[in-house]
Amino acid sequence: MNWQLPLVFAQDVTTDLVERVQKTTIDGTTVPESSVIRGGTSNPFTAEYWFPEQASSFAGEVDYLFMGIFWISLVFFIAIVGVMTYFCLKYRRKGDKIEPEPSSSHNTAIEILWSVLPSILLVWMFYVGAESYFNMRIPKEEAEEIKVTAYQFGWTFTYPNGDIATELHLVKDRPVNLRMQSKDVLHSFYVSAFRQKQDIVPGRYTYAYIEPIKTGVYRLSCNEYCGEGHSKMRTACIVHETEEERKEKTKWIVSSHTPAENGKRIYQIHCSGCHNIDGQAGTGPALNLTWGRNAEFEGADPLTVDADYVLESIWEPSAKIVKGYGVAGQPSKMNSFKGVLSQEDVDYVIEYMKFLQDPSSTTDKKVEELETEKN
Ligand code: CUA
């Protein structure tokens, strides 16, 4: 029998789906389309065949226990169902005989066996389970702390040096304790290659401890249904060889990106929770159908969306409320970003909005080049 067949078949069927959901993060990393990147073995009797790569220090322990419980269950399943079937056949009613077979009331040897053997197995499961649970939950002292913010529908990661990224960048063999918070509803952090999953609860911190042992790009996803965009709430987790390599990736140098790219990053970090770029209304209006268009307001005259209006909406969101998104004279659902986004940041957001309207309308030159030209 070809054990590989069902999996190969499943992969072919999902190819189309995979293409549709493929996603690139802001630093250009492609988020793995599947959480299952098998370890390259064709032996179906190993965990590596069925599960994603073992990329954290305790992934091997988790798989070991899983496979252990699986095989024990399989052996008992076959033994119990086998004996049951055999007895059903052997002691079935035959001919005219309707008296039951005599049955023994007691067998000390069998009773001791079926009490002691399962007890030993259960204690083993508990012991191995508890041991790896502690390894997963108790961070090493030297673990660095990375702050994780989950929101509808995305992630931001703040590194010890203050850099912010929309992907999780880790360093191989460096233990990390993620301090996680939610801006809105329940989410759940999940990287299957690390065998680590932890709910993120609004109003409190939760922690996830990881010690990555393999470089690579892994899929990080939200694992708790959190609304319409739940399935889009995924990003890449990249494990780097060295700290330098990681710094290179998390550092965002404004001058080495185009204005629209800078705007996209600001959008992803600050705006994408409420404003979509696919034309769909979110908590606020979609940003791709805004720039240069006519906007209607609750209790104010319509106007054409220009730079002054964008700046006003970001700094004083309650000044004009777009029709259908609130009540005139009442505070906007959006908080003011004055003090958070500078006028220069707003410039970049505007460039990104222009780009969303018409990709050819913006420059593909980096800020650096533009500045050199100006001087
Ligand atoms: Cu966040 Cu599902």
196-227 tens-digit pLDDT = 999 999 999 999 999 999 998 898 999 999 98
Question: What's the whole-model pTM score?
Answer: 0.72
Burial class (CB in 10 A: 0-12, 13-18, 19+), 50: middle
DSSP state of 52: B
What is the Å distance from ligand 1's center to 223 Cα? Answer: 6
314 alpha carbon to ligand 1 midpoint, in Å?
26
The confidence score (pLDDT) of residue 10 equals: 41
CA of 25 to the centre of ligand 1 (A): 17
Confidence of residue 5 (pLDDT cuts 50, 70, 90): very low
Mean per-residue pLDDT over the chain, rounded: 84
Q: Tell me, what's the pLDDT at 6? A: 42
Residue 232 pLDDT: 81
| pLDDT band of 275, cuts 50, 70, 90 | confident
CA angle 122, 124, 126 (to 5 degrees): 70
Ligand 1 atom with the smallest distance to the CA of 226 is 2
Pocket of ligand 1 (CB under 6 A): 150, 187, 222, 224-226, 230, 233
Residue whose structure tokens are 């703040």 = 158
- CA gap 313, 299 in Å, rounded: 15
Q: Which residues, listed in sequence order, are joined to residue 221 by a DSSP beta bridge? A: 190, 234
pLDDT of residue 16: 38
In the numeric block, which tokens belong to residue 11? 């992969």
Helical H segments across 152-294, by residue range: 243-250, 259-266
For residue 187, give the 3-state DSSP assignment: strand
Residue pair 365/261 in contact by the 8 Å Cβ criterion = no
- What are the structure tokens assigned to 139, written together? 């961070």
Ligand 1 atom closest to Cα of 200? 1
Helix (H) and strand (E) counts in the chain = 9, 14
**Cα–Cα distance between 193 and 207 in angstroms, integer?**
18
Q: How far is the CA of 361 from the centre of ligand 1 (A)?
A: 34
Atom of ligand 1 lying closest to residue 225 CA: 2
Q: Does residue 270 or residue 131 have the better pLDDT?
A: 131
Cα separation, 201 vs 287, whole angstroms = 28
Higher pLDDT, 214 or 360: 214
pLDDT tens digits for 84-107? 999 999 888 877 777 777 777 888
The pLDDT of residue 253:
80
pLDDT tens for each residue of 27-47: 667 777 665 555 566 777 777
Q: Which residues pair with 217 in a beta bridge?
A: 238
What does DSSP say about strands 164-165 and 168-171: parallel, antiparallel, or unpaired? unpaired
How far is 40 from 27, CA to CA, in rounded Å?
28
CA distances in angstroms from 100 to 88, 103, 104, listed in the order given: 13, 9, 12
Helix, strand or coil, per DSSP, at residue 73: helix
Q: Give the count of beta carbons closer than 10 Å to the beta carbon of residue 12.
A: 8
In the chain, the amino acid numbered 89 is L
- Shortest-distance Cα residue to atom 1 of ligand 1: 187
Distance 13 CA to ligand 1 centre (A): 25
Atom of ligand 1 nearest to the CA of 229: 2
